[in-house]
Amino acid sequence: MSAPAIRLQGLKKSFGASEIIRGVDLDIHRGERHAIIGPNGAGKSTLFHLISARLPVSAGTIELKGANVVGLKPFEITRKGLSRSFQITNIFHNLSVFENLRCAVLWSLGYRYSFWQRLAGLTDARQRAEAVMEDIGLGKRRDTPAGILSYAEQRALEIGITIASGADVILLDEPTAGMSNSETEEAVALIRRVTEGKTLVMVEHDMGVVFGLADRISVLVYGQVIATDTPAAIRCNAAVQEAYLGTSVSHE
Amino acid sequence: MLVSSRLVTRSRLLLWGGCLALALALPLIFRSSFLISLLCQMGIMVVFSLSYNMLLGQTGLLSFGHAVYYGLGAFATMHTLNALGKDGGPLVVALLPAVGACAGLAGGVVLGYVTTRKAGTTFAMITLGIGELVAACSLMFPGVFGGEGGVSGNRVIGKESFLGFNWGPQVEMYGLIVMWAFVCTVAMFALTQTPLGRMANAVRDNPERAEFVGYDTERVRLLMVILSGMFAGAAGGLTALNYEIVTAETLNAHTSGVVLLMTFVGGIGFFYGPIIGAILITVMQIVVGGMTHAWLLYFGLFFLFMVLKAPGGIASLIAVQRNLWNAGLFGRMLPHYLAMMLPVLILLAGLVGVVELSYALLAGDGVGAGDTATRVLGMQLKLGTPAPWVTALAVTGAGMILTRWIGGRAGTAWNSTLATLHGDKA
Amino acid sequence: MEFVVISLLNGITYGLLLFMLSSGLTLIFSMMGILNFAHASFYMLGAYFAYQISTWVGFWPGLLVAPLLVGAVGALVERYGLRRAHRFGHVAELLFTFGLAFVVEEVVHLVWGKVAVDYRIPVELDGTLFTLFDTSFPIYKGFMMLISVGMLVALYALLTRTRIGLIIQAALTKPDMVEALGHNVPRIFMLVFGGGTALAGLAGVIGGNAFVTEPGMAAAVGSIVFVIVVVGGLGSLGGAFVASLLIGCIQTFSVGLSISITDVFALVGIALPAGSQVARLTITQMAPVLPYLFMVAILIFRPRGLMGARES
Amino acid sequence: MKSPLFNRLALAASVMLVGGSACAQVKIAYIDPLSGPFANVGEAGLKGFKEAAEILVNQKGGIMGQKLEFTGFDNKGSPQETQLQLKAAIDQGFRFVTLGNGSGAAHSLIDAVNKWNARNPDKTVLFFNYAAVDPTLTNEKCSFWHFRFDANTEMKMEAISNFMEKDKTIKKLFIIGQDYAHGHQVAKYTKEMLAAKRKDIKIVGEDLHPIGRVKDFAPYIAKIKASGADTVMTGNWGNDLSLLIKAAKDAGLKARFFTYYAGGLGTPQAMGAAGENQVIQLTEWHMNVPTKNTEKFALDFNKKYPGVWFYYLRVNNMVQMVAQAMNTAKSTDPKAVALALEDMRMPVDTGEVWMRKSDHQAMQPLYISIFSKADGKTVKHDSEGTGYGWKTLATISQRDSQLPTSCIMERP
């Protein structure tokens, strides 16, 4: 249990000539809730894409629970216990809510590419999917196609799919983006509930959510982490205030 | 929960059993050898197009080369049949489509490895290219593919029989096809209810998300191509036994096009869609093909119409009506449907008139052009005179106006009915 | 030497014609994301229109009018067909063009009959341009090359040097933004589709009489055009150009090589069992299917094609 | 156009009830492509049969007072569909079928007819083949229920090689063909027969190309040219032939082309001037063969069906022979007709046609002719309105194309 959940060392990513991530070193401890904040264009989503292998790394290493995961494909990383959500809702539109969640639990329950087992007979998959469905409050929408859910419901489903696989490291990319205040509150409660005992890394713009939820916060500016600390310390950090909070948190 | 699922199972069993019994009983009604041959062709096409829909409808892979697996299955079956010679018997012959299935499966492994690396448009293009490649090669190797004459064989081996069958008479062959088609259909339906089947849907809807729940999308596609190839191969095996000849045409682009057409027209979004498509298109091909030489044109236009107006295929039209029926709203639409029938018929009559006149005049279906009277649609007409043309165009025009007019009102009613339907649901 | 020069010349001529065919397809794909299955049908229409016009007023007016007519037909197809199919996604669009190819072939059957029409090379261009190693090079082939290269230059200039070209390129990546700037994006797409099909029509005008104008001509080139577009990289005009020349040359050179598969494998030190049908195949025999093999190889080793930017 | 669907269904029912009672006419089912890419060939054949039946049989008293009638069944060129159409024809009471296009369809039909007759000996069907030329149909796969009225590929090559034997200007020969059974056979027979007859002719090259896939034949022509060939032998047909000839003209290749199928169904039009004095064909007839009746028949036919050019003399031969066989046998029972056809010798416009009993292969005179400018004298008629017509180079007597057969026929 000594290795951190995620360790980034000298991580770089460039698109053509422009370097978006310019050498990030960061340790995320097991079991902590870690938020990454920073101004627009700082590279937060890109960082997530690198960790989850959606984008190839230009230089540096990523360790997941002590093992180097650079060069692995997304599904391989997922199988190692890392799961992520997307800023733009990324669900199976033509499948029902229940089927969405069931798809998400199949691999971790070991059903792999089975074509000799009936889905209906897989009690554990059904129970786990139903449990997540209740967790995210979509029990009443069980058979509704995901494509016609409301926005907030889709965001909840997005989180549901992310946690359903039972991964212990969870990356949430702006889980409350575009939500109203009451919806945000529900979402925060949901995230708190479903990530209990897991490692959570999130990118979030809503500072209320960040400071309410995170154990530690990293500030990413122009592709570099300028500070990593507790919320209280970040609030007082001069460099952070200069680079970021001075402009953005003033109206918090 | 448990009770209801058992109920579902029971009604499903009844449905499957009923279909099987109906299929087996059909020769009692359609007795002529032509109609039984037609039924055989339908049965084969049902399996083939269902296997195609495993790719298009379930995995979202548009393939232009599905006939390759079908053809491989057919050739493998035929060669096995011939290799058996006198050693076989009716029971062995009955099991031969399994050889075709294995060949299709093997083809799926090899070609699937190449094709499934990409999805979407690229996949469609690669399958087109590979289909062309295989079709071109098939003519180069007469030893395997029999050259122009194809490979032929005899499905009746020896004098003995299995349960009284030796598969010689077409009716017995029909029974064999029905049994195979039934087994394959059940298997393909069962596949949709397995983890792989569901993940194929997931990969179709959102390949990226499928990767992020732990699935290798290439592997899912590959497995689906292999399994689909297997069923296509079984269909090919049935063709080999049914026609007792297999030619290179079974694996060319035309065959691939036909199966795409059937599947799409039937409806890719529903399991039973391709069954409807296979039956309908087979009948149309042979019956409309027997009535008019313009059938290819009618076919093309019908297909375009389906793409633009009913991309969900016939199955989706049925499904919508069933939803209306269940919601008790069907009665609201019925008068509009009835009202639409007349103008649509008029429009169709006009269009058919124009097309048939043009064919008679230009393609020389009748006896020469000019002022001589020609039989068109059972009427003696003078093609060189304006009268028949004006009539046909006038009917078309009238049909168009009427369809627009009545169709507009029906459309309004349709929208409001749909709104009610979804409103009830939401 | 003689073999190399003549093969090269033949290869380039053929390649340039292939480029004319595939440029329109590439253009449409890169702008609209539609793979136009009926592209070769527009090529055929070009040939037939030009034939019809040539019987009335001669070849030269047809050279100009026929592509415009084909483009107009293309624009109408986009306006009343594709645009509707677009709502149901790319598969529906592809299927629409697939069905369209069917219908066009039947209509051609209907209007011009099922056999080849007598579409001839104009007298002015009938003759020998020069003779090389005892093989004559017809004027018409030179003319084809000229048109083809001219088209490439014009296309390039249009897309990179003119306002409309820039708008088209912008509409491709950011249609909403371009629309917000007051441009009519659907109309731009209609223009692009019409333009792309007009290019195919032009290829038909000058290819129809060089080869044979008959109802099967669309099906005959349909698949090779897709091979070029895939090999060159979907949507890359430069890639299509390189791929066309490459495939043109591969085909011509392989025809000239009378070595068998056995010889090829012997070169790399593998002895094939003698007597099998595969072993006896010669490269010449396989020439016309080599492009397909080439495509498969490209897709395995470089899935985005030679110069492709995007993967699908 | 009546509606054959209802006819078909009604007949299907009535056949079962009545069991194929005596009809007022003798009906032959014409199963060939009537739609799709090869429809022109199929339609030309059907018109030929209808015209021949009308003029050569029905206007001369018919068959035992009954009219001979041909009905088209569209097999769309597919071997599978051929079998479906055969079933349809049998259901409607047809006992005679004819088919010509595509060896695949012919093989399918001969198999289906054999099996049907074995399984339904009381309702036998007879197959008249008017144009499928695969030699195996009258050798390994020969059948009592099949008669061929066209010379097969091997016989045609025998005729051509006999001509080549005498033509000493041929020194270097190049073989090019489509890469499928027919092309393979042409290449094989050419080599075998020339090796026996003209050892001095050097085969300087042999190429096969996939059928219907070559757009530009220039590289092939370059190769032929480089080989120094003065003569090219090809089994190509359709566009593969037209494009080959056009490419040869473009590159200035002066060799002569011996062909099987340059004479009809659109090829002269597609070839045009490019074929002048370079293209040689072998046929059982062409427009400039001096004949008593056929010339008028052909001219009338071309006038009646503009755009369709009379091409198949064997259609006329077949119609006459079948009618005579029925009249001789005084029966329209397939087996009786088959027996009457065997060994029949029929005087026709070009000489005599003999239906050999051992393999059911018709033997007839053949003509070798070259594509030349129509001059109103030796080349009286042009071909398909091109301004070029066929000039006879040699007449091959019936005997000069005969070959032994390996047929071992199972006779009922």
* Cβ–Cβ below 8 Å for B286 and D84: yes
Nearest CA in chain D to B249: D78
C152, pLDDT greater than 80: yes
Domain borders along chain A are 6-248
Residue type, B48: F
Out of B35, B139, B378, closest to residue D3 by CB: B378
- Whether D304 and chain B come into contact, CB under 8 Å, resolves to yes
Report CA A39 to chain centroid distance, whole Å: 18
DSSP character at residue A70? T
So what's the pLDDT on residue D23?
Answer: 45
User: Quick count: other Cβ atoms within 10 Å of Cβ C139?
Assistant: 16
CB contacts, 8 Å: C303 with chain B = 117-118, 122
- Whether A115 and chain B come into contact, CB under 8 Å, resolves to yes
- Whether A104 and chain B come into contact, CB under 8 Å, resolves to yes
**B283 or C296, which is more confident:** B283
User: What domain count does chain B have?
Assistant: 3
Range of the structural domain that residue B1 is part of:
1-25
Say how far apart CA B74 and CA A215 lie, in whole Å.
Answer: 65
**CATH fold for domain D154-283+365-401:** Rossmann fold (3.40.50)
Closest CA–CA distance from residue B302 to any residue of chain C (Å)? 9
So what's the pLDDT on residue B297?
Answer: 86
So what's the pLDDT on residue B123?
Answer: 86
Q: How far is CA A204 from CA A34, B196, B199, B245, D174, in A?
A: 11, 35, 31, 67, 77
Nearest to D50 by CA among D310, D255, D343, D224: D310
* Residues B157 and B247 grouped into a single domain: yes
DSSP character at residue A96? B
Q: How many CB pairs under 8 A join A and B?
A: 97
Closest CA–CA distance from residue B184 to any residue of chain D (Å)? 22
Say how far apart CA B297 and CA C106 lie, in whole Å.
Answer: 6
* Cβ–Cβ below 8 Å for B195 and A114: yes
Closest CA–CA distance from residue B22 to any residue of chain D (Å)? 21
Where residue B224 falls among pLDDT bands split at 50, 70, 90?
Answer: very high
Closest CA–CA distance from residue A64 to any residue of chain B (Å)? 16
The token pair that represents D139 in the structure block: 């050798």
* Cβ–Cβ below 8 Å for B364 and D15: no
C300, pLDDT greater than 90: no
Where residue C33 falls among pLDDT bands split at 50, 70, 90?
Answer: confident
* Residues B7 and B38 grouped into a single domain: no
So what's the pLDDT on residue C154?
Answer: 87
So what's the pLDDT on residue C270?
Answer: 66
Where residue C274 falls among pLDDT bands split at 50, 70, 90?
Answer: low
Q: Which residues does D43 contact at the CB level (< 8 Å), separation at least 6?
A: B364, C114, D34, D308
Are the beta carbons of B185 and B235 closer than 8 angstroms? no
Query: Average pLDDT of C140-154?
Result: 87
Are the beta carbons of B74 and B237 closer than 8 angstroms? yes
Q: 3-class secondary structure for chain C?
A: CHHHHHHHHHHHHHHHHHHHHHHHHHHHHHHHCCCCCCHHHHHHHHHHHHHHHHHHCCHHHHHHHHHHHHHHHHHHHHHHHHHHHHCCCHHHHHHHHHHHHHHHHHHHHHHHCCCCECCCCCHHHCCEEEEECCEEEEHHHHHHHHHHHHHHHHHHHHHHHCHHHHHHHHHHHCHHHHHHCCCCHHHHHHHHHHHHHHHHHHHHHHHHHHCCECCCHHHHHHHHHHHHHHHHCCCCHHHHHHHHHHHHHHHHHHHHCCCEHHHHHHHCCCCCCCCCHHHHCEHHHHHHHHHHHHHHHHHHHCCCCCCCCCCC
Are the beta carbons of A23 and A182 closer than 8 angstroms? no
- Whether D4 and chain B come into contact, CB under 8 Å, resolves to yes
**Chains A and D physically touch (3 or more Cβ atom pairs below 8 Å):** no
Query: Average pLDDT of C66-84?
Result: 91
Average pLDDT, chain B: 85
pLDDT digits (tens, 9 = 90+) for C166-194: 877 777 667 677 777 777 778 888 888 99
* Cβ–Cβ below 8 Å for B378 and D308: no
Where residue B3 falls among pLDDT bands split at 50, 70, 90?
Answer: very low
* Residues B186 and B241 grouped into a single domain: yes
Q: Which residues does A214 contact at the CB level (< 8 Å), separation at least 6?
A: A33, A34, A35, A202, A231
* Cβ–Cβ below 8 Å for A91 and B193: no
User: How many CA atoms does the CB half-sphere of A41 hold within 13 Å?
Assistant: 3
The token pair that represents C159 in the structure block: 């897309």
CB contacts, 8 Å: B316 with chain A = none
Say how far apart CA A119 and CA B248 lie, in whole Å.
Answer: 40
Where residue C234 falls among pLDDT bands split at 50, 70, 90?
Answer: confident
Residue type, B370: G
User: How many CA atoms does the CB half-sphere of A155 hold within 13 Å?
Assistant: 20
Say how far apart CA B34 and CA D93 lie, in whole Å.
Answer: 12
The highest-confidence range among B259-268, B282-291, C271-280, D252-261, by mean pLDDT, is B259-268
* Cβ–Cβ below 8 Å for D12 and B35: yes
Say how far apart CA B231 and CA B238 lie, in whole Å.
Answer: 11
* Residues B136 and B228 grouped into a single domain: yes
The token pair that represents A249 in the structure block: 């948190």
CB contacts, 8 Å: B62 with chain C = 91, 94-95
Quote the radius of gyration of chain A (alpha carbons, Å): 18
Task: With residue A67 as reference, give the H or E element that holds it.
Answer: strand A67-68
Count of residues making up chain B: 426
CB contacts, 8 Å: A103 with chain B = 198-199, 202, 210, 213
pLDDT digits (tens, 9 = 90+) for B68-106: 999 999 999 999 999 987 777 888 889 999 999 999 999
* Residues B194 and B46 grouped into a single domain: yes
Above pLDDT 70, what percent of chain C? 88
Q: Residue B134's domain is classified under what CATH number?
A: 1.10.3470
Nearest CA in chain B to D208: B140
* Residues B214 and B102 grouped into a single domain: yes
- pTM, 2 dp: 0.86
* Residues B119 and B243 grouped into a single domain: yes
Strand order in the sheet with D345-348: D345-348, D351-355, D362-363
**CATH fold for domain D4-151+294-363:** Rossmann fold (3.40.50)
* Residues B17 and B97 grouped into a single domain: no
* Cβ–Cβ below 8 Å for C312 and B114: no
CB contacts, 8 Å: B304 with chain C = 81, 96, 99-100, 103
* Cβ–Cβ below 8 Å for B137 and C289: yes
* Residues B109 and B196 grouped into a single domain: yes
Say how far apart CA A204 and CA A248 lie, in whole Å.
Answer: 13
CB contacts, 8 Å: B202 with chain A = 92, 95, 103
pLDDT digits (tens, 9 = 90+) for C10-29: 888 888 888 888 888 888 88
- Chain C: touching chains (3 or more CB pairs < 8 Å): B, D
> Domain ends where: B288, B303, B318?
B303
So what's the pLDDT on residue D241?
Answer: 85
The token pair that represents B371 in the structure block: 């002022």
Interface of C with B in 71-110 (CB under 8 A): 81, 84-85, 88, 90-92, 94-96, 98-100, 102-103, 105-107, 109-110
Q: Which residues of chain D are modeled with pLDDT < 50?
A: 1-23
- Whether B248 and chain C come into contact, CB under 8 Å, resolves to no
Report CA C146 to chain centroid distance, whole Å: 16
Q: Where are the CATH 3.40.50.2300 domain residues in chain D? A: 4-151+294-363, 154-283+365-401
Out of B201, B205, B219, closest to residue A113 by CB: B219
Say how far apart CA C295 and CA C299 lie, in whole Å.
Answer: 6
B381, pLDDT greater than 90: no
* Residues B147 and B287 grouped into a single domain: yes
Q: How far is CA B80 from CA B135, B248, B282, in A?
A: 21, 17, 28
Closest CA–CA distance from residue B300 to any residue of chain C (Å)? 5
Q: Which residues of chain A are modeled with pLDDT < 50?
A: 248-252
* Residues B112 and B72 grouped into a single domain: yes
Are the beta carbons of A39 and A245 closer than 8 angstroms? no
Out of D40, D223, D226, closest to residue C114 by CB: D40
- Whether B215 and chain A come into contact, CB under 8 Å, resolves to yes
What CATH code is assigned to A6-248? Answer: 3.40.50.300
Residue A101's SS3 state is helix
